[in-house]
Amino acid sequence: MLIQTIDKSTNLAWVAQRRLQGRLNANGEARDRFEQERSAFFEAVRSAYLERASSAPQRMAVIDADASLEIVQARLAACLEARVTPWL
C-alpha cells in the first residue's frame, strides 16, 4: 500500500487562516494541551503552512476563516468550484 502512494500527492488542500486570538477565544476558557502553547508556536506553524501553500498554489488554497461559518463555507465552496470545474 505504501509503495502505491509514495509518488502521490493531494489535488487540493485548504489552509484555514484565522487570527490566533479568535481561535483561542472560540473555546472559551477550556484550553487543551495544544491550545496552551505560546503564541510563537502557533505563528511558526502558521508561517510553515503559508510558506507551503505559496510554494504549491496549484495544490493548496489559503482560506480566510475569520468570519461566520456561513461565509467560510461559501469561501470553501467557491474555491472548490473554481478548482474542480476545469477537471469536468
Cβ-contact 9, 55 below 8 angstroms: no
Alpha-carbon distance 60 to 50, whole Å?
9
Answer with the residue of higher pLDDT: 43 or 9: 43
pLDDT value of residue 60: 92
Q: Which domains does the chain have, with CATH numbers?
A: 10-87 (3.40.50.300)
> For residue 3, what pLDDT is reported?
61
- DSSP readout, 13-50? EEEEE--HHHHHHHTTT---TGGGS-HHHHHHHHHHHH
How would residue 70 be classed by pLDDT, with cut points 50, 70 and 90? very high
Mean pLDDT across the stretch 58-66?
Answer: 92
- State yes or no: pLDDT of 65 exceeds 70: yes
- Rounded to whole angstroms, the Cα distance separating 88 from 78 reads 16
pLDDT at residue number 72: 94
Cα–Cα distances in angstroms (integers) from residue 77 to residues 14, 16, 37, 40, 51, in the given order: 11, 13, 32, 31, 23
pLDDT above 70 for 78: yes
What was the pLDDT predicted at 76?
94
